[in-house]
Amino acid sequence: MIELKDVSKSFTLHNQGSAVIPVMEGASLTVAPGECIALTGASGAGKSTLMRVIYGNYLAASGQVLVGGLDVAQAEPRQILALRRETLGYVSQFLRVVPRVPTLEVVADPLLAIGCERQVALEKAAALLARLNIPEHLWGLSPTTFSGGEQQRVNIARGFAHDYPAMLLDEPTASLDVQNRETVLSLIEEAKARGAAIVGIFHDVGARDRVCDREVNVSDFTPGVLV
């Protein structure tokens, strides 16, 4: 479902004499449907960069980045937008809040975007918000004024609204209390059970051990490092 073949990435610092910083070389990995892999490696090793390359935020310098058969490294912007709508979900650590849009709509939005019937989308959004302990009296309000933890849980609800075949999870359990952490781990297990291929960054070792089938150490892809 997700397959990287010999991917490299460098950054060109245009404001610093166009210095070129190679950050990744020979990155290859495969994630099968129903499998969850954890990206590991020291701070600065390139975990977030690899996730952004898969999501199409960063363009790989060479190699293939296949998600559901589409090579993200070669795809047109409209193909990447369709991929993100239908196939590839991304749960980042922070909610990008749109002012004035009620929480229920924020969560239902990915389902409405793929043509799901409105009532069905709102019901699924409500079920997720309830599971993640967002009090019902907040569902009609914009999450702009919510606490950090509440925004994080709204973001997770939104990320799991559509049953994406592939998902990227950036520290999905960071700073959650025990009960909500448990709910998120269950959501990940359910996504795996329905066949989602998942790549995640988990600093929570207990969470990683529970939901991840394998670890991929991105330090192995650091340029100049012999493996």
Ligand X SMILES: Nc1ncnc2c1ncn2[C@@H]1O[C@H](COP(=O)(O)OP(=O)(O)OP(=O)(O)O)[C@@H](O)[C@H]1O
Closest CB 43 distance from ligand X, rounded Å: 3
Q: Does 8 bind ligand X (CB under 6 A)?
A: no
One of 23, 53, 125, 176 touching ligand X (CB under 6 A): 23
Q: Give the up-direction half-sphere exposure of residue 189: CA atoms within 13 A in the CB hemisphere.
A: 11
Listed in sequence order, the DSSP H helices in the chain are: 47-55, 77-86, 103-113, 118-131, 148-159, 178-193, 205-211
Taking CB under 6 A as the rule, does residue 46 contact ligand X?
yes
Rule CB under 6 A: which of 179-198 touch ligand X? Answer: none
- Selected from 4, 36, 38, 41, the binder of ligand X by CB under 6 A is 41
* CB-CB contact of 124 with 158 (8 Å): no
Q: How far apart (Å, rounded) are the C-alpha atoms in residues 180 and 166? A: 22
d(CA 169, CA 177): 18
- Minimum CB–partner distance for residue 59 and ligand X (Å): 11
Amino acid at 224: G
Minimum CB separation of residue 73 from ligand X in Å reads: 17
Which helix or strand (DSSP H or E) is residue 137 part of? Answer: none
Select the span of 46-54, 88-96, 107-115, 129-137 touching ligand X (CB under 6 A): 46-54
Q: How far is CA 168 from CA 14, 67, 70, 145, 225, in A?
A: 29, 11, 16, 26, 26
CB of 34 to ligand X, least distance (A): 25
Please say which residue, 54 or 134, places its beta carbon nearer to ligand X. Answer: 54
> Which residue stretch of 38-46, 112-120, 148-156, 172-180 sits at the interface with ligand X (rule: CB under 6 A)?
38-46
Binding site for ligand X (CB under 6 A): 11, 21, 23, 41, 43-49
